[in-house]
Amino acid sequence: MKRLLTTTGILLFSMLMLHAVAQSSGEVVTGNEIGNDIGDFEAKGTDGNFKKLSDLRGNMVLLVLWNSKCGHCVTENKFYQEAYNQFHDKQFTKGKGFEVYQIGLDKEEATWKEYIEASGFPYKNHVYVLDSWKDPNVRFFGVKNLPGTFLIDGDGIILEKGFGGKELPALLEKYQKK
């Protein structure tokens, strides 16, 4: 038992040291926290084709996890549309434009698709994940309440998270090229 505890302690210490070295060397860690690389995500869009988050690299990206039956999500969508119209063609310190990538977490794909088509969103990066809350790729984001929001720079680094739609224009202005 003593040997097991010693071995476990050594392994834990080694893992912590490796993590500290990676952090101090400036290595970017993939994760869901500010300063992390968001990694990639791919899901089926309204047209049936798969859309990758990484296809938007080079742009500032608002990543939103939401549901069309969530009243707060629907309200927030109006702010995302306004921000998209205002900032889509703007230059940012680390991004040549602004895009929105929305991950639909509805229980039924048809309901989600009908809402997207009826809403007339100016952006087209809408994807859907079946049985979404159980999907490990969705769980990676660590979102507990909808809508879940992330502002990502052109290199895929998370700049901001967990903000409301009313805050989005000020955040985009903060990262806009002067």
**All structural domains of the chain with their residue ranges:** 1-30, 31-175
Name the pairing type of β-strands 42-45 and 125-128.
antiparallel
Res. 167: pLDDT tops 50: yes
pLDDT given at position 1: 54
Q: How confident is the model at residue 3 (pLDDT cuts 50, 70, 90)?
A: low
- The one-character DSSP state at 25 is T
Q: How confident is the model at residue 20 (pLDDT cuts 50, 70, 90)?
A: very low
Q: In this structure, what token pair is assigned to residue 171?
A: 């955040």
Q: In this structure, what token pair is assigned to residue 72?
A: 């707060």
Mean pLDDT of all residues belonging to the chain: 88
CA–CA gap between residue 11 and residue 98 (Å, rounded):
43
Average pLDDT over residues 141-166: 97
CA–CA gap between residue 134 and residue 124 (Å, rounded):
25
Res. 8: pLDDT tops 90: no
Helix (H) or strand (E) holding 149: strand 148-152
Res. 13: pLDDT tops 50: no
Q: So what CATH class is 31-175?
A: alpha beta
pLDDT given at position 60: 98
pLDDT given at position 50: 96
pTM of the model: 0.84
CA–CA gap between residue 98 and residue 126 (Å, rounded):
15
pLDDT given at position 136: 87
Res. 64: pLDDT tops 80: yes
